[in-house]
Amino acid sequence: MEGGVAGKSVPPNSFDKSKVLDVKPLRSLLPVFPEAPNGPPFVCAPPNGPFPTGFSPFFPFSGPQGSPLTPGLNQNLFNSTAMPIRSFRAEPPPASNGENVQSSNKRKSVGPSFVKKKVKRSNDSELALAALTNFKPGISAAEKDDGNRELVENVLMRFEALRRKLSQMEDAKESHSDIFKRANLKAGNIMFTKGVRTNGKKRIGAVPGVEIGDIFFFRMELILIGLHSQSMAGIDFMPMKADIEGERVAISIVSSGGYEDNAEDPDVLVYTGQGGNASADKEASDQKLVRGNIALERSLHRANEVRVIRGFKDATHQTSKVYVYDGLYKVQESWMEKGKTGCNMFKYKLVRLPGQTGAFSTWKSIRKWKEDPSSRDGLILPDLTSGAESIPVSLVNEVDDEKGPAYFTYVSTVKYPKSFKLVQPSYGCNCRDACQAGNSNCSCIQKNGGDFPYITTGILACRMPMIFECGSSCPCFRNCKNRVLQTGFKVHFEVFKTRDKGWGLRSWDPIRAGTFICEYAGEVIEKIKEKADGDDGENNDYVFDTNRVYESFKWNHETESAEERSDTSEKFDIPSPLIISSKNSGNIARFMNHSCSPNVFWQPIMYEHNNEAFLHIAFFAKKHIPPMTELTYDYGIPRSDETESNNMEHGKKKCLCGSPKCRGYFY
């Protein structure tokens, strides 16, 4: 038995005070913060605070310039309001053997081979990310404070292009890297760092360039365009210049179902104040008249306008939400009542200002039509396709007494004549289950230049010279993510009578940028028969021609160093011109009208059938498209040599698209 001082034995639950411990001064130790069960751990030391690896603080989460983040992480440094940080933390990378994060991290000390492999993957990710961030903002200081419609759309399109690219890179990783987790947050971080934002100056009332009915799929989009600067909190507010320091009024709220909000009346919103809700680490409690709650109370007395953004579940992506800007409201009254938890909750009644364009009211009408299609005013046919499509397409006329378009045969895809010269030999991949992004052995992915053309949600990642989908000889599943065109559209469309452009096409569902709309179905023809005076030949009102000249635009995410490569990647590579006529047979694409500022674009896609590759023309959403918005694409113009040889001046038609960039005519 070992002895202590004077040979005395040491009790089993004690320690030997005679031994000298190697004690380091406190200033040399890293601080350890207490962590509540299931709460957000403090995984980063300042200056990053609660942000995960690869994320740097950015507006509105960073402090004022020149002031470091303080340990009080429950206080928003921009607005002094509570900001939950759990959602900003990237999920830990999954361990290969099912271990938890702590045990997985300990493996770094096992041997040099593991460390070397980890460092290499991280460096590859960081290099790829560095390339993505090498671009110029192109936005002046004045535009960062005050925007316009063109600038708002530009910021949103650039954010979405970057988000899709980050998602594509994340999908391709065998072991997902923290650098690419939460692509929407990372994209927002990059955008703010580069200064790609607008309407950064807080204001009461309408936001320049933002229209009632605009839709968004991420809270980060609201922040980038200055509609609502809180990423989590539902109430945004600002101080009044004439008031004493600290007095604030509400300027916008987001009602997305997190509380007991009453949203039955489309012009009235009963909004529940913030705070008091139960969470994983605390019980429900009475709400307090602080922060956003007191700001709404002051807005009641001041009668200032408050922007209202309503959130819903996304019909096509059930795990996501879609937000619609519903216009300006005023707080009419407030009270306190017991909530479902038995605690006191503040209630605020907001009333919509009259004379504004309908937004939430349109969504409520669509919900009613889906439950009872016969309730749709002006309904002619509940399904124009007669079952040819998996989702019915309504035929509606609320304008006049016309009972429908001229007769045509509905077909869901393009039909080639025998021995058409564009058909090429082709063979499928050897994937047994489903093609996986990052699988270098998949021949279909190799045809696409090594990149999977679609991200996990089925959204097109970027425009490509040609997309190659899996075909009939590929053994992968029918629902393989590389068969987007072949599985058909996923939204509810309606063909409707316009007031001045004949029949048109629109959707009952909100459409996210990059969503597949439909393909241009019809009969492939050798050439167009032009209708001359006294000639009964076929006219070109229902024709798609790849040989036309189309207005160029940028849709992919660009980097300054890869600008030339980006230009090339958005130029189509079609073996020879393709002309499709939908006059006698076609699908809903034949009803899409022309616009000089379209919200839809086309993309060539090939896939194999009976060992032969056939070219298809697919349409995708250029930007987020609200419900009941007409879908349009650019018809293009004939090439100059064709115009001169065929004397096609008589084929010009007056354009009625109403775009600020309207060129006045189309063919």
pLDDT at 315 (0 to 100): 77
The mean of the pLDDT values for the chain is: 80
Of residues 241 and 400, the one with the higher pLDDT is: 400
Instruction: Give 555's pLDDT tier (boundaries 50, 70, 90).
Output: very high
pLDDT tens per residue across span 378-393: 999 999 999 999 999 9
Angle at 241 between CA 236 and CA 242, to 5 degrees: 125
Percentage of the chain with pLDDT > 90? 54
Do 200 and 143 meet the contact criterion of CB atoms below 8 Å apart? Answer: no
Task: Give percent helix, percent strand, percent coil of the chain, each to the nearest 5.
Answer: 20, 20, 60
Weakest-pLDDT range from 122-136, 512-526, 537-551, 578-592: 122-136
The whole-number pLDDT of residue 432 equals 82
Q: Is residue 477 part of a domain?
A: yes
Q: For residue 231, give both structure tokens.
A: 């990423």
Predicted confidence band of residue 440 (pLDDT cuts 50, 70, 90):
confident
Compare 339 and 406 and report the one with higher pLDDT: 406
307-341 residue pLDDT tens: 999 998 887 777 789 999 999 999 999 999 988 88
Say if residue 384 is in the same domain as residue 352: no
Tell me how far CA of residue 202 lies from CA of 57, 206, 244, 297, 329, in angstroms. 20, 11, 18, 19, 17
- Domain interval for residue 278: 202-369
Judge if the upstream peptide bond of residue 47 is cis by omega within 30 degrees of 0.
yes
Q: Do 627 and 324 contact (CB within 8 A), yes or no?
A: no
Query: Which of 346, 369, 392 is the C-terminal boundary of a domain?
Result: 369
376/356 same-domain check: no
- Output the pLDDT for position 600: 98
Closest to 151 (Cα-Cα) out of 85, 231, 88, 207: 207
Q: 146 lies in a domain? A: no
Number of CB atoms found within 10 A of residue 544's CB: 25
| Vertex 153: Cα angle to 51 and 172 (nearest 5) | 50
Better-scored residue on pLDDT, 306 or 93: 306
Residue 529 lies in a domain: yes
Same domain, 386 and 533: yes
In sequence order, the 6+-apart residues with CB closer than 8 A to the CB of 21 are none
Give per-residue pLDDT as tens, 261-302: 666 788 999 999 988 876 667 788 899 999 999 999 999 999
Please state which of the ranges 47-51, 216-220, 333-337 shows the lowest mean pLDDT: 47-51
Note whether 331 and 402 are same-domain residues. no
What proportion of the chain, given as a percentage, has pLDDT over 70? Answer: 72
Work out how many domains the chain is built from and give that number: 2
Q: 29: which residues sit within 8 A by CB, 6+ positions away?
A: none
Tokens representing 369 are: 């039509």
CB neighbours (10 Å) of residue 649? 8
338 and 414 both lie in a single domain: no
How far CA 273 is from CA of 77, 282, 292, 326, 344, in Å, comes to 21, 18, 7, 19, 10
Regarding whether 407 and 350 lie in a shared domain, the answer is no
Considering the domain architecture, whether residues 446 and 528 belong to the same structural domain is answered as yes
Residues 408 and 467 in one domain: yes
The pLDDT of residue 129 is 75
**Does one domain contain both 405 and 422?**
yes
539-549 pLDDT per residue, tens? 568 999 999 99
CA gap 67, 58 in Å, rounded: 13
Confidence of residue 87 (pLDDT cuts 50, 70, 90): very low
Q: Answer yes or no: are the C-beta atoms of 214 and 599 closer than 8 Å.
A: no
Is the pLDDT confidence value at 234 over 80?
yes
Residue 48 has pLDDT above 90, yes or no: no
From 496, 482, 524, 258, select the one nearest 399 (Cα to Cα): 496
Return the pLDDT at 467: 95
Tens of pLDDT, residues 158-210: 999 999 999 999 888 755 555 556 899 999 999 999 999 999 999 999 999 99
358 and 442 both lie in a single domain? no
Instruction: Indicate the residue type of 343.
Output: C
Question: Domain with 335 in it: what CATH number?
Answer: 2.30.280.10
Residue-by-residue DSSP string for 587-619: -GGGGPEE-SS-SEEEEEEEEEETTEEEEEEEE
Q: What is the mean pLDDT of residues 118-122?
A: 43
Q: Do residue 344 and residue 380 come from a single domain?
A: no
Please state the φ and ψ torsions of residue 272, each to the nearest 5 degrees. -90, 135
